[in-house]
Amino acid sequence: MVFALVIATFLVAVAIDAFVIKRLVHKKAKELAKREAIDQYLAPQVEEAQDMLFHQGHTWVRVLRAVVEVGLDDFTSRLVGEITKIETPEAGTKLQKGKKAWTIHFGDRSLTQLAPITGRIIEVNQELLSDPKSLNDSPYKNAWIIKILPDALTSEVPDLYTPSRFYKWVDMQKARLVQESFPEMGMAYGDGATMINGAARSIDSEKWQQIAKKLFGTN
């Protein structure tokens, strides 16, 4: 009885904390939107991701009441093309921010992505694991990969990007890659830095490892 009461009290506290953070996130996003001019071709992406925060490893967080949903961004899904398999830890596994969260497979290649926050996995999206191709259709709408009960949401949220800031950063990141590090990827971009679907498949294995490390901090 006492244990159940402690757990209930903890969940209520987490829910209140998450609710407050969610309000702050929306407020911060609105303030940034007023101050920052968003290029027209980025506006649809920013609008679609308004209720999310992003990690530099191209993963996103959606704050619910007591837990957070976590998934991958549209840059990732477009870069790798059709995703054939997702490997995730089991529910109950503790994840550390900046450490391995899951591995996606596409063709004969794979990509490991990092956890955007610290916490324990409480649910894995089994429907998505059964049909990973749905991530390519929409990596945001009901396409969470895992749900996490966060350990330190309040302290970790400030390190995440709002949609407007994230997509501006991604845009600059792609431009730098083309210009400085991987000029052959220039063929994968058109007006507005729109990436050809499955661009990673046209890059040789060694170069892909370099790109994955630079873009995602993994592999």
Q: Which of 6-20, 107-121, 188-202 is predicted with the least confidence, judged by mean pLDDT?
A: 6-20
* Mean of the per-residue pLDDT values of the chain: 80
Give domain limits for the chain: 2-216
Pull the structure tokens for residue 59: 């993963």
Please give the Cα distance from 101 to 113 (Å, whole number). 6
Nearest to 161 by CA among 112, 118, 117: 117
**Average pLDDT, integer, range 18-38:** 54
DSSP H or E run through 205? helix 205-216
Nearest residue to 189 (alpha-carbon basis) of 71, 69, 79, 34 = 79
Given a contact cutoff of 8 angstroms between Cβ atoms, the answer to whether 105 and 124 are in contact is no
Mean pLDDT over 154-182 rounds to 82
Q: Which of 71, 43, 45, 46 is nearest to 57 (CA)?
A: 71
> Rounded mean pLDDT of 151-177?
88
Total Cβ atoms within 10 A of residue 158: 9
Length of the chain: 219
pTM: 0.79
| Mean pLDDT of all residues in 7-13 | 46
Q: Which residues pair with 149 in a beta bridge?
A: 120
The pLDDT, as a whole number, for residue 42 is 56
- Mean pLDDT confidence for 153-180: 85
pLDDT tens digits, 81-138: 999 999 999 999 999 999 999 999 999 999 999 999 999 999 999 999 999 988 988 8
Least confident of 121-135, 142-156, 177-191: 177-191
More confident residue, 130 or 50: 130
In terms of Cβ atoms closer than 10 Å to its own Cβ (0-12, 13-18, 19+), residue 204 is: exposed
CATH class, range 2-216 = mainly beta
| pLDDT given for residue 11 in this prediction | 47
